[in-house]
Structure 1
Amino acid sequence: MTFRSTSLSDWLDHQQRVHPRAIELGLERVRAVWRRLGAPVPAPVVVTIGGTYGKGSTVAFLEAMLAADGRRVGAYTSPHLLRYNERVRVGGAEVSDDLLVDAFARIEAARVGDTGDAEGLALTYFEYGTLAALWVFAHAGLDVALLEVGLGGRLDAVNIIDADASIVTTVDLDHQEWLGDDRDSIGREKAGIFRAGMPAIVAESDPPAALLDAAHRLGTDLRRAGHQYGYDIHADGTWRWHGGGATLALPRPGLAAPCQHANAAGAIAVVHALRARLGWNPAAIARGVADARVGARLQRFDGEPALVVDVAHNPQAAGVLAEWLRREPSRGRTLAVFGALADKDVSAIVAVLAPHVDRWYPAGLERDSPRGLDAASLVALFGASVDTARIAPPGAGVGDALAAACRAAQPRDRVIAFGSFFVAAAALEFAARR
């Protein structure tokens, strides 16, 4: 029997049960259901955004720039922080439960086919969400759709759509069990979103050779940071973008991390590559750079102590966070609330941040995800970079760890919460209550 419900939460619970695995890379099943839906095309112009780190920020810059130019933009991102609806935005607003439920009902009917066989074509939670976004976008009268890759690129569900331009933000070690154990292997997977003859933007300052080789072999219109475009940052954070004969004087990015100039520059390279179809409006680009916002990217909450929330969950992201901490020294101590999933390189993350953290508050995530580390297991992976005297007793969840850190903090101290989207979500809820 085909599943039916008018409740979004019921649909999300159902999706968790349909496929025996949370991740199942491959395009055959999701493409078959997409075709049964009538192969909805999300927008006249589609941009696919991949990379190890910086995808969400790049989407935010593109969304803000294009909206400032009067374009109707759809953005599909993942994961969400507080509400599933965050994943699908139209015109800058999260879509309603009703729209998502309608899309899921159509997907379910297409999945089980004419026989009504509940086994049907098994889709993962992410594949349901991707198809729902494509369906919603196709009926929303968009000018541009922005599709963020969930994992990898070549076999990710968003790759059933041929993008008019694609960008790979960065390439680093993450999800090695799915993508490979070195940057070349991971780079090849991420290059799978490129298309022959289409703009392929590489925002990584030092990309692996395999990524560039794949782009060249495919015959893409390759546009690489430091080659086809570049940027210069001034001491006050304002900057200049240049590429393809164009030069822009730009304000400090609205997102705080040092890497955000690179993310914004890559987004501008996308707009420049598509200027024949989307136009080239320097004022709108500058406004978008300044106005872009995305949750839990060095998001600061004032108070005593100040709270900073970030989704840094791999060594590369930890390095960005460490550089920000170095540039923005605390007037007092820095207390870190940290939680991670079992597939993360905890010792490498901790080693990068250890010089900038005075005391650690490990948070268990075993109640949030089957892959979540409990606090004691997390501490066991810290390695030698942190003296045990700097680690608070393990055993607490994120809320408990945050409360403990805030109780211990002096007025000039700051608390940073990072390590997983689960940590960030709990920290945002904590910030709303205090």
Structure 2
Amino acid sequence: MQVQEVIHNIETLPRLHEKNDLSYIKKVLAFLDNPQDKVKTIHITGTNGKGSTSYYLSNLIKKAGCKTGLFVSPYVERFNERIQLNNEQISDSDLIKGYNAISNAVTELKKADPKFNLVTFEFETALAFWYFSYKKCDYAVIEVGIGGQHDKTNVITPEVSIITTVGLDHEKIIGPTIEDIAREKSGVIKPRVPVVLGNVPDSVLDILIDKAKKESASVYLLGKDFVVSDQKNIVYQDQDEKMIFDKRPRSESYDLAVAYRVFKLLHLSLSPKKVQEALNNTQIPGRFDVIQKKPLIILDGAHNIQAITQLLNYVHELPAKKYKFLVGMMKDKDLKEVLALFNPQDQLYLTRIDYPRAAKWEDFKDAIKQKAIYDEDYKKLFDQLVNELQDDEVLVVTGSFYLVGALLNYWRHR
């Protein structure tokens, strides 16, 4: 079996079960002798910042000399990116081997229950746990797919739990209110396992604090137990130390600070210089990704209100004569609300990739259509914008990781 066939088989599995629980993945993991229990894990949820925090933290743990697994979603450029070991993507041969192991488990379980099957994310999660156990990882950083309580990764008892932030996204699945979303994300808080909270809105902070108290989980809160500022540099400080890191966008400074606070809870040995090297050299795929400096071109997978707001705040602080945005979004996102965040002087270009969920021209409101230019061919529109871009202008590609991933691939092979 070829790796592309394996990936196709995984990605064409059903997306949802009739009931939203963890019984299916628990049965498969039990059949595999519970690989998730054989590796120390850190569990990360949050509306935004999960991926950045995961990369920062895994780089710190790796720098400390530990064999470190990383499970993230979605991938930006290729499927193998989702499962990593020491910053190296899972090989095609191991991906096929893991696929066969999970498929065999499903086949055997079908003998007792012919209707038994896994959905895509369950298969991917089981594959990640199998791989980390197979490779005898010391630690694995596990990013949830959606939510927390009912997420398919929520079968672990981690060393530390993380909630980066809480905002509106996936309201139809884990909402509709921000309070509902906070309660769902609080599901990663486990009995007597410390939890680190990032830039969480005050309106829902009590929900998370109350859950932590109920579980006797100690809480480390950004802005209270540790602080971060971003001026000429990022300055992290807690009661024990002060650290200075290279300048990054404000939202990234939150994620960096959370990752470092979690790392300190693991009590791994790493000098301040090595900590700085690990964090300063971390590049998160598709997140504030500068692919050209002059003229400046940035790719960022921001795809909800909170993430777009953070991106725009950062971009509009850059010295530029014009700000151009190439945006492609999924139609199940808050299109009207997100696109209303752009300034009137921003030049807005809309496009789509060949994907069933990708928004088409008719999905946008008339008010947006009046101020935006649309082209169905994202490569053609991107080329046009790049060729026309002046040295004192900025081009930002955003709206979805699907578009960002497609254009990263296109840019590197054009």
Tell me the TM-score normalised to structure 1 length: 0.89
1:310 matched residue in structure 2: 300
2:309 matched residue in structure 1: 319
1:347: Cα distance to partner? 1.8
CA distance 1:43–1:290, change in 2 (3 Å) = farther
* Preserved CA contact (<8 Å) 1:75 1:89: yes
CA distance 1:106–1:120, change in 2 (3 Å) = farther
Cα distance in 1 for residues equivalent to 2:109 and 2:117: 15
1:400: Cα distance to partner? 2.6
Work out whether 1:373 is the aligned partner of 2:359.
Answer: yes
Work out whether 1:344 is the aligned partner of 2:344.
Answer: no
* Preserved CA contact (<8 Å) 1:42 1:137: no
1:361 pairs, out of 349, 369, 381, with 349
Gapped regions of structure 2 (runs ≥ 5) = none
2:405 matched residue in structure 1: 425
1:391 matched residue in structure 2: 372
* Preserved CA contact (<8 Å) 2:39 2:136: no
1:4-37 CA distance string (max 9 Å, x none): xx22221222234442649974211011111111
Length, aligned pairs only: 412
Q: Please provide the CA RMSD for this pair.
A: 2.2
* Preserved CA contact (<8 Å) 2:102 2:126: yes
- Which deviates more from structure 2 when the two are superposed, residues 50-59 or residues 217-226? 217-226
Report the residue type matching 1:270 in the other structure.
Answer: V
2:173 matched residue in structure 1: 178
CA distance 1:280–1:205, change in 2 (3 Å) = farther
- Which deviates more from structure 2 when the two are superposed, residues 14-23 or residues 175-184? 14-23
1:285 matched residue in structure 2: 275
Identity of aligned residues (%): 23
1:238: Cα distance to partner? 3.7
Q: Secondary structure at the match of 1:158?
A: coil
* Preserved CA contact (<8 Å) 2:109 2:116: no
* Preserved CA contact (<8 Å) 1:23 1:124: no
Cα distance in 2 for residues equivalent to 1:20 and 1:268: 34
Work out whether 1:271 is the aligned partner of 2:271.
Answer: no
* Preserved CA contact (<8 Å) 1:168 1:190: yes
Cα distance in 1 for residues equivalent to 2:19 and 2:76: 22
Work out whether 1:231 is the aligned partner of 2:228.
Answer: yes
Cα distance in 2 for residues equivalent to 1:266 and 1:30: 29
1:61: Cα distance to partner? 0.8
* Preserved CA contact (<8 Å) 1:184 1:211: no
Work out whether 1:61 is the aligned partner of 2:42.
Answer: no
1:158 matched residue in structure 2: 153
1:412 matched residue in structure 2: 392
1:270: Cα distance to partner? 0.8
Cα distance in 2 for residues equivalent to 1:433 and 1:237: 34
1:79 matched residue in structure 2: 74
- Which deviates more from structure 2 when the two are superposed, residues 116-125 or residues 192-201? 116-125
1:218: Cα distance to partner? 1.9
1:293: Cα distance to partner? 1.2
1:97: Cα distance to partner? 0.9
Report the residue type matching 2:326 in the other structure.
Answer: V
Tell me the TM-score normalised to structure 2 length: 0.93
2:211 matched residue in structure 1: 214
Cα distance in 2 for residues equivalent to 1:281 and 1:354: 44
1:116: Cα distance to partner? 5.5
Cα distance in 1 for residues equivalent to 2:396 and 2:58: 27
- Which deviates more from structure 2 when the two are superposed, residues 114-123 or residues 161-170? 114-123
CA distance 1:22–1:96, change in 2 (3 Å) = farther
1:191-238 CA distance string (max 9 Å, x none): 1011111111111242513222222222211111122222344x3114
Q: Secondary structure at the match of 1:246?
A: coil
1:247 matched residue in structure 2: 241
1:362: Cα distance to partner? 0.5
1:3 matched residue in structure 2: none
* Preserved CA contact (<8 Å) 1:65 1:286: no
Gapped regions of structure 1 (runs ≥ 5) = 1-5
CA distance 1:240–1:69, change in 2 (3 Å) = same
CA distance 1:161–1:205, change in 2 (3 Å) = closer
1:126 matched residue in structure 2: 121
1:288: Cα distance to partner? 1.8
